[in-house]
Structure 1
C-alpha cells in the first residue's frame, strides 16, 4: 500500500473552499487533467481516465458537516482518497488531500502523484479565488 498527502493554504473561508471543491459538476476544473467525473446517483460516480481511455466505477461522498470529501473505487478496493478543509483564522484555510493506493499496480509513483496533487491544489485555489473575486465584484 502507498499513501500520499499534500496540503495548501488558500485565502478564503473554509466553507467557501469546501463548497468549491465539492461541486460535482466542477470537479474537472481542479482534478488532474486526465480525470473526468460523471455523477450518477450519488455517491455513485464514474471516473474516466484519458490516459487509459477507461471508465471506473467509483464513490464520491461529500461530508459538508466535516468539510470533507471522500472517494474511492466502487467495485474493487484499489484506491481511495479524501480532501479535508480546515479553517486557519483570518479568512484563510488549509486544504489537505490524501491518496491511498491499495494495489501497487495502480500506484503511478511518488513523483507523479505529488506533481498531480500540487497541480490540483493550485487549480482548486484558482477556482476559489475566481469565485471569491466574482462574489466580491
Structure 2
C-alpha cells in the first residue's frame, strides 16, 4: 500500500474553499487534467481517465459539516482519497489531500502523484481566488 499527502494554504475562509472543492459541476477545474467526474447519482459517480480511456465506478461523499470530501473506487477497492479543509486564522485555510493506493498496480509512483497533487491544489487555489475576487462568478 502506498500513501501520499500534500497541503496548500489558500487565502479564503474554509467554508468558501470547501464549497469550491465540493462543487460537483466544477470538479474537473481542479482535478488532475486527465480525470473527469460524471457525478450522475451521488455518491455513485464515474471517473473517466483520458490516459487509459477507461471509465471507473467510484464513490464521492461530501461532508460539509466536517469540510471534508472522500472518494474511492467502488468495485475494485484499489484507491481512496480525501480532501480536508481547515481554517488557520486571518481568513486563510489549509487544504490537505491524502491518497491511498491499496493495489500497487494502481499506484502511478511518488513523482507522478506529487506532481498531480501539487497541480490540483494550485488549480483549486486559482478557482478559490477567482471566486473570492469575483463573488458573482
Query: TM-score under structure 1 normalisation?
Result: 0.98
Partner Cα distance (1:65, 1:129) in 2? 22
Partner Cα distance (2:43, 2:135) in 1? 29
How large is the Cα RMSD of the aligned pairs? 1.1
Partner Cα distance (2:135, 2:73) in 1? 35
Residues paired across the two proteins, number:
137
Q: Where does residue 129 of structure 1 map in the other structure? A: 129
**Residues 107/92 of structure 1: CA separation in 2 closer, same or farther (3 Å cut):** same
Partner Cα distance (1:27, 1:103) in 2? 25
**Greater Cα shift, 127-136 or 111-120:** 127-136
Partner Cα distance (1:3, 1:23) in 2? 25
- Residues 39-67 of structure 1 show CA distances to partners (whole Å, capped at 9, x for unaligned) of 12110000000000000000000000000
Q: Where does residue 42 of structure 1 map in the other structure? A: 42
Q: CA deviation at 1:136?
A: 8.1
Once the two structures are superposed, the pairs formed by residues 1-137 of structure 1 within 5 Å of their partners are: 1-135=1-135
Query: TM-score under structure 2 normalisation?
Result: 0.98
Give 4+ residue runs of structure 1 displaced > 6 Å after superposition. Answer: none
Partner Cα distance (1:135, 1:36) in 2? 25
Q: Which sections of structure 1, spanning at least 5 residues, go unmatched?
A: none
Partner Cα distance (1:25, 1:80) in 2? 21
Q: What SS is found at the alignment partner of 2:46?
A: strand
Q: Which sections of structure 2, spanning at least 5 residues, go unmatched?
A: none
